[in-house]
Structure 1
Amino acid sequence: MPAPLLVLTDFTPDADLALSYAAAIATELEAPIVLLHIRRTSLLDPEALSGRIPQWSEGEIASELSKRTADLTVPATVDISNDLLESAVAAAVAQHQPQLIVLGRPDYNKPDELIDTTSLTLLRHTPVPLLVVPITAPAQPNLRRVTIGADNQPFSLSPQVVEFCQNLLSAFNATINITHVVEPEDDDNSSLASQQVEKSGLTTGFQRITTRGQRHLSPVDGIIAAVEEDGGAY
């Protein structure tokens, strides 16, 4: 059986959306899901005394996890940890050997710094690819057309990341668009950026690949504009 997807849940709407998104990916990959809930009960937790953390009983946690796995169409197991985030995820990764970690991105009223810090913390403590699903994402991922944003600089990925990305793109039979964003006055030739992506191994064996130069003052907004014009995901 393929390695599972590790999905973090705190029973919030953004976590539920991330689970739906992960379940759709798991179906295509024919992979199981491990649903991880971290009980934030330690006095070392930064929000332990703020009143922001719901105090769930063991029975309530079991009930909430059961509700979320009942309708999944892929095999699912649950895991509960009392550790802090990075330790809990690292332990789950060591035990379950997932091919992807999935978590929801809370509403946009929360500071981006908080989201970035959580994501970077997880990336520092595990070698597994991380997918952050925004609350605005559809429950069913559209990965038939995928945009890869790239500049002219070389980059490398671990074999584990390359293998997962290739499996994901193959499972969805994706068409790949490589987008190179430059400032409006610069040359938007994307050939070198395309070469860097090819050297990374991401697109090895894929035939349906297009490239484009995108002029924009902001690299992030330029990639988003390219995705919207291409009708895909990024």
Structure 2
Amino acid sequence: MQSNGSSSTTAAQSQASAALSKISPALARAHERIVAQAQSESTSISQLGQYKATVSSLATASNALGGISSKTTASDAVKMVESFIATFNNAIKQANTASNTSGQSQTNASRTLVESKRTLSSTDSSRSQLNKLGITRQQDGTLALDASVLQKSLANAPDATTATLSQLGKVIGKRAESELADKGRLNVASTKSSERALALKQQQSALLSAATSMSQAQTSSASWASKQALLKYSAS
């Protein structure tokens, strides 16, 4: 459901497009293209922001798991693994959702999330190693945990089990932090989307200014109404 602010913006855009069509069909088409691109960049910025928050949570959970040792109680160890898997799966699911879009609905963020998923998905631990701990990889790339198997492994081989879990946490934690670094993939993508959004806003302003100038010479009531619609939209 659209918010009141979103509905008002959409209505203003429609009025501006209608006004532009009366002044210049070419300008109207250019305006619609810019609006569509701006909406795509806005979606990208939102997607990246949400994903960065998820990856930040993954980094925290991964680093906590990286500190596990044979001195960690079994119950605490299971909780740490559960927390890690929950945040890992959230990141993978967000990337999966992005990868399921295609064509015009695919944003710049979609491609970034898919690339990030490839980086985070490589655990550096073999399937057999993880299976022995009750951790299995699902078809969609997420992880599932059989807590009873993990508890048994912790009881029978605490040193080996916690060493594998610690390595898993350290590897994923390092990769998550790399994704979040100032010059990492996610911040670079966010900056580019913000820059594109600003450039599109400037293009839109220039286009509306040109259209308003063109309408100055027109004196019909319809042209006057078009001018008012453009002025109102330009000020929004």
Structure showing greater radius of gyration is 2
- Asked if Structure 1 and Structure 2 have the same fold, meaning a TM-score greater than 0.5 normalized by the shorter chain, the answer is no
Q: Name the structure where helix makes up a greater proportion of residues.
A: 2
Q: Name the structure where strand makes up a greater proportion of residues.
A: 1
Where relative contact order (Cα < 8 A, 6+ residues apart) is larger, the structure is 2
